[in-house]
C-alpha cells in the first residue's frame, strides 16, 4: 500500500515541490563562491555546452544556471526521477526524461536513445544540456561513454561542474549522495571544457571518457576544498 500511494502523481508532485522549496532555502542561507571567477563570461561564446556532474552531487546543480541561460536536464523516468524532475522544473530547468544503462536492454528500457535524440535537438536549438556522467546504479563516479558520444555528435564541449556546501548529510547509497544543508558556505565550481572530435575513434572516445572522469573528480575536490572539507 505504501509503495502504491508513494508513487501516486499527487504525492510525487508534493514531494517534488517541497524539495524545490528546500533547495531554495539551502541556496539562500549559504554564502556561495563561484570558481573560477568570470567563468560565465568565458563560457558565453562557447554556448551551448554539455554540463556534466556526478550522481549524488546533483541536488544543488540547478543553481549553476545563470539567469537567461536555457538549460535542459536529463532525468530518469523512475519514481525518484519524477520527484527530481518536478523540483528541477520548478527551479527553471527544462526536462529530458531518459537515462542510460550498463547494458543494451537497460539503455532501451530507460529511453536512452530517445533521450540522446532529444539532447541533440536541444543543443541544436541552443539549449545547454545537463546530465550525470556516471550510469545509474554504479559503479559510482565512473563516467560512461554516453556523454562523450553526445559531445562527439553535437560538437559541443563538455563542462564538468560540482556544487558543495560546508554542511551536508552523506547517505549510504550506491552514489554516496550528499544532502546539502542550510546555514553555511557553498561553492559552485567549473572544470575546463572537454572537446571531442567528430571523427573520434574508439581509442579517442575512451581517452575523452577518462578526461571527463578526471575532470569531474578534480572539480569535485576543488568544490569541497573551497568550503573547507574533503570530498568523501
Quick: pLDDT tens for 153-184. 999 999 999 999 999 999 988 888 899 999 99
Q: Does residue 61 have a cis bond before it (omega within 30 degrees)?
A: no
Q: Domain for residue 231, yes or no?
A: no
The cell for 50 is 554539455
Per-residue pLDDT at 100? 60
The cell for 187 is 561553492
Sheet of 158-165: strand order equals 30-35, 184-190, 158-165, 50-53, 128-132, 71-75, 94-97
The low-confidence residues of the chain, meaning pLDDT below 70, are 1-6, 100-111, 138, 232
Q: Domain for residue 182, yes or no?
A: yes
Distances (CA, A) of 107 to 19, 63, 188, 229: 28, 29, 31, 36
Q: Domain for residue 216, yes or no?
A: yes
The domain tally of the chain equals 1
Distances (CA, A) of 170 to 71, 92, 141, 177, 223: 27, 26, 15, 6, 16
Tell me if 52 sits within 8 A of 58, measured CB to CB.
no
Q: Domain for residue 232, yes or no?
A: no
- Residues 115-124: tens digit of each pLDDT: 999 999 999 9
Predicted TM-score of the model (pTM) = 0.91
Per-residue pLDDT at 103? 46
Tell me if 159 sits within 8 A of 52, measured CB to CB.
yes
Domain range for 205: 2-226
Per-residue pLDDT at 181? 98
The cell for 197 is 572530435
Q: What whole-number distance in Å separates Cα of residue 202 and Cα of residue 208? A: 10
Q: Domain for residue 34, yes or no?
A: yes
Amino acid at each position: 500500500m505504501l509503495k502504491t500511494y508513494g508513487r501516486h502523481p499527487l504525492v510525487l508532485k508534493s514531494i517534488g515541490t517541497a524539495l524545490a522549496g528546500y533547495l531554495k532555502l539551502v541556496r539562500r542561507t549559504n554564502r556561495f563562491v563561484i570558481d573560477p571567477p568570470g567563468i560565465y563570461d568565458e563560457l558565453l561564446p562557447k554556448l551551448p555546452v554539455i554540463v556534466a556532474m556526478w550522481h549524488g552531487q546533483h541536488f544543488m546543480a540547478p543553481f549553476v544556471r545563470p539567469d537567461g541561460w536555457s538549460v535542459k536536464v536529463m532525468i530518469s523516468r523512475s519514481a525518484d526521477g519524477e520527484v527530481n524532475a518536478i523540483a528541477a522544473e520548478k527551479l527553471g530547468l527544462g526536462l529530458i526524461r531518459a537515462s542510460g544503462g550498463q547494458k543494451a536492454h537497460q539503455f532501451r528500457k530507460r529511453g536512452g536513445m530517445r533521450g540522446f535524440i532529444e539532447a541533440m535537438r536541444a543543443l541544436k536549438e541552443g539549449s545547454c544540456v545537463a546530465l550525470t556522467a556516471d550510469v545509474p546504479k554504479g559503479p559510482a563516479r565512473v563516467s560512461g561513454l554516453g556523454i562523450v558520444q553526445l559531445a562527439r555528435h553535437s560538437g559541443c564541449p563538455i563542462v564538468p561542474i560540482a556544487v558543495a556546501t560546508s554542511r551536508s548529510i552523506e547517505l549510504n547509497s550506491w552514489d554516496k549522495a550528499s544532502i546539502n544543508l542550510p546555514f553555511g558556505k557553498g561553492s559552485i565550481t567549473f572544470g575546463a571544457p572537454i572537446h571531442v572530435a567528430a571523427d573520434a575513434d574508439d581509442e579517442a572516445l575512451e581517452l575523452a571518457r577518462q578526461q571527463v572522469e578526471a575532470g569531474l573528480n578534480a572539480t569535485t575536490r576543488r568544490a569541497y576544498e573551497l568550503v573547507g572539507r574533503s570530498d568523501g
